[in-house]
Chain A
Amino acid sequence: MTTDNHVDVDGYVDGELDTEQSREVESHLAGCATCREEVNSLRELQSYLQEVPPEALLDGPPADADLLLQRTLRQVRQESARTRTGRGAVATTVSIAAVAAVLAAAGGVLIGRNAGPDQPLAVPEPTPSASSSAVPGTRFASSVDPSTGARLTVRVEPASGFVRVNVAVTGLPAGEPCRLIVVGKDGRRETAGSWLVSEKGAQQGTTLDGTALIDPDDVTAVMIENTSGQKFVSTPV
């Protein structure tokens, strides 16, 4: 850390310094942009953290709330019945794919928060079944790279002049800064997203959504590589 030798930024940010010490830090900050930025950035993070409600740490179902669950399920049943008669079969197929994707994502996030890696984990995956095309022309593909062992499952959904992609990828090493890349017919590459592979992402897989400005008809492949260009897995679509 470049600020290590300057002043006690952490103590200052935590409000642990006495008046005299604080004054010293402040006079240093006045002349040191690096420390000033560090203080601002740490304070900003603190304020983000403080905004998260403590209830976010509670897990599991609420006690004595079975009636609430039953009521909610009933409302969902009724609404889905209405949707079915109103909008017909298209809505049905959309829902299957989306529900499956969310279930996978919910499972991944949640199990990830509390459970150790020894627990069976649902690897998030889009559902690449033929019946679940949300949008006409939606394509599914999946590949395993034999050398890295990474597995990529993708859903490519056409939009007007671009594509939405939903991917589930497993087998990436933790700590890798990765990019999700959509490749076009002419070899053009568009980054549809980038992220850092977490420990949990490495263990359980990661799902990502992205978009790429490539004509749906021109998309030939989707791939994952790290920021230095090393390819982990690619799948033709």
Chain B
Amino acid sequence: MAGFATRRRRETADEELVRTLFTEHGKAMLAYATRLTGDRAAAEDVVQEALVRAWRHLDDLGNGKGSVRGWLLTVVRNIVTDRVRARNARPAEVAESPTTVPVEHDHADHVVDTMVVLQALDRLSPEHRVVLEQVYLQGRSVAEAADVLGIPPGTVKSRSHYALRALREHFPARHLGMEGVA
């Protein structure tokens, strides 16, 4: 049967894809989903759905449109957001604990942002990237970041200044300069 070998190959490739995504990004996805939902079981459902969506939308996820991780984390957040909305839209459902999930009203912007930022970070030198990750993503103070990285606080500061400008160089122009001085 001509189709059989092809079919086997596809199933293997599908599973390999999902397994690869899980192995590389699973921890980040589950941790993020757990924080947003406050519930490990619900978070696992969200991660499962996000991985299946990734597999269904390979073209969006793939090359050139942003980092795979940015895509996956954004999808995790969107799924959580949509579930909260759906639950809130349902009338008269009682005994529901007030959700702590920040509902974004427009997730389209964020899809681009997270993907673009992670992709731009990837292009920085490790020294620059690590400083920005500590200071901005982890929200550490200069002193804390200096401690974690084992470099003087002054170096954290100057490096973060250079790194921010280096990051700007790697940002697609269309994502900057729209700030308007509101």
Contact = CB atoms under 8 A, between A and B. Distances in A.
Interface of A: 1, 10, 14, 36, 40-46, 48-63, 65, 68-69, 71-73, 75-77, 79-80, 84, 89, 92-93, 95-96, 98-107, 109-110, 112-113, 124, 131, 166, 168, 193, 196, 198-201, 207-210
B58 interface: yes
B73 interface: yes
16 contacts: A42-B164, A55-B29, A57-B28, A61-B23, A61-B24, A61-B26, A62-B30, A68-B26, A68-B30, A68-B44, A73-B15, A76-B51, A77-B15, A79-B56, A95-B14, A99-B14
B123 A45 contact: no
B15 A55 contact: no
Interface in B1-45: 3, 6-7, 9-11, 13-32, 35, 44
Interface of B: 3, 6-7, 9-11, 13-32, 35, 44, 47-48, 51-52, 55-56, 58-59, 61-65, 67-70, 73, 77, 110, 113-114, 116-118, 122-123, 125, 132-133, 136-139, 157, 160-161, 164-165, 167-171, 175-177, 179, 181
B166 to A, nearest CB: 10
A99 B26 contact: no
A201 B139 CA distance: 29
B65 A209 contact: yes
A52 B138 CA distance: 9
B19 to A, nearest CB: 7
Contact of B125 (A41, A168, A199): A199
A44 B113 CA distance: 11
A53 B63 contact: no
Contacts of B10: 80, 92, 95-96, 99
